[in-house]
Amino acid sequence: MSVQDAFQLANRRWIPAVGLGTWRMTKSQVSTSVQYALESGYRHFDTASAFGTAHILGDTLARFDIPREPLFLSYKLWPTEYRRHHVRPAVEKMLQDLQVDYLDAVLLHFPVAFHTGAGGKLTIDRTHDIGETWSELETFVTEGRIRSLGVSNFSIADLNHLQSRGGKIAPVLNQVELHPFHPQWELLEYCRNHGIHMIAASPLGGTAGKALRNDPTINRIAQAHNKTVAQVLLSWAIKRGTSVVPRSTDPQRIASNMKGMSLTDGEVAEINDLEERAQFIDHSKVLGIAGL
């Protein structure tokens, strides 16, 4: 296997195979990490309303004077912004923060809307029609200000529900937690069959994924190639046909994550056959929202 540079989406657009995730980074970390990433050849950057650091990403990109076309900027709309009258201001703000005329992809961050209650407590708003949000985003595609629409943290049932709402533009992306301990084979196959490219969030397991990174099989393969465990995990993910957005603030790790490696078919099969199962991101716990 040789790691490919990009994947073509169902709408004929291209997405780089490797991007930089910016979740849970401070403003200063975003600035320095994006700088390291640009110097290492990254052109795919993942941000969201909830991260609160898109303007730092925009400032850093502007300082480097990178041509717009090679960049792939992906933005996730926060569920408190799903109401029709909130969608346009949110997207307009993201365009302004990133200092660009269009976004390469806008994703719905979760399959349900949130309501902000007393003291800022979030609850799920099940009265909201997700089709309303999607319809409003479609107007930006018509205007040429969004190139691709997608989703994040959507299950098969969630995708079926969204597509039952009669949207004119089908989702071409779904970003979810994916790694060897949480491979989500059924969801991957569904998305392949429906023209939805998957982006692996937390492909290295995140801060809670020590067990994944310590797995004996993965470490043995890394040692055999004189590569890092991260390089093995990312190469495995790309081999499955998914893009990856690992988060890192370390310049050496940022650089090495961008360097591909070759896995044999046997090594890929070994990783596929790992029996350990673990999902490391508990969104209900992180956000304090029951039933998410």
Binding residues for substrate: 109
The answer for residues whose C-beta is within 8 angstroms of residue 282's C-beta and 6 or more apart is none
Structure tokens at 37: 């990433």
- In three-state secondary structure terms, 151 is strand
- In three-state secondary structure terms, 46 is strand
Structure tokens at 52: 């609160």
The angle that helices 216-225 and 265-272 make with each other, rounded to 10 degrees, is 160
Closest CA to 152 of 190, 111, 115: 111
Closest CA to 106 of 129, 139, 83: 139
Please report, in range form, the residues annotated as the binding site. Answer: 109
Q: Are strands 6-8 and 14-16 parallel, antiparallel or unpaired?
A: antiparallel
- In three-state secondary structure terms, 107 is strand
CB atoms near residue 254 (< 10 Å): 23
**Neighbour-count burial for 182-192, b at 16+ CB within 10 Å, e otherwise:** bbbeebbebbe
Structure tokens at 292: 């998410």
CA distance 24 to 2: 31
- In three-state secondary structure terms, 230 is helix
